[in-house]
Amino acid sequence: MSSRDPGRPPAQRLFAAVLPPARAVTELRTALAPLHALPGAPDLRWTGPEGWHFTLAFYGEVPEDAAPELEARLERAARRTEPFPLRLHGAGHFGGRALWAGAAGGLDTLRLLAERADAAARRAGLPMEEHRRYTPHLTLARSRGAADLRPFAAALAGFEGERWETGELALVRSGLPVSGVPGERPRYATVRAWRLGG
Task: Give me the catalytic one of 36, 53, 89, 93.
Answer: 53
Secondary structure element (H or E) that encloses residue 113, with its range: helix 107-123
- DSSP at 43: G
Of 173, 169, 126, the closest CA to residue 13 belongs to: 173
Residue 53 among the catalytic residues: yes
What's the CA gap between 49 and 53, in Å, rounded? 9
Of 14, 94, 2, the closest CA to residue 55 belongs to: 14
Catalytic residues: 53, 137
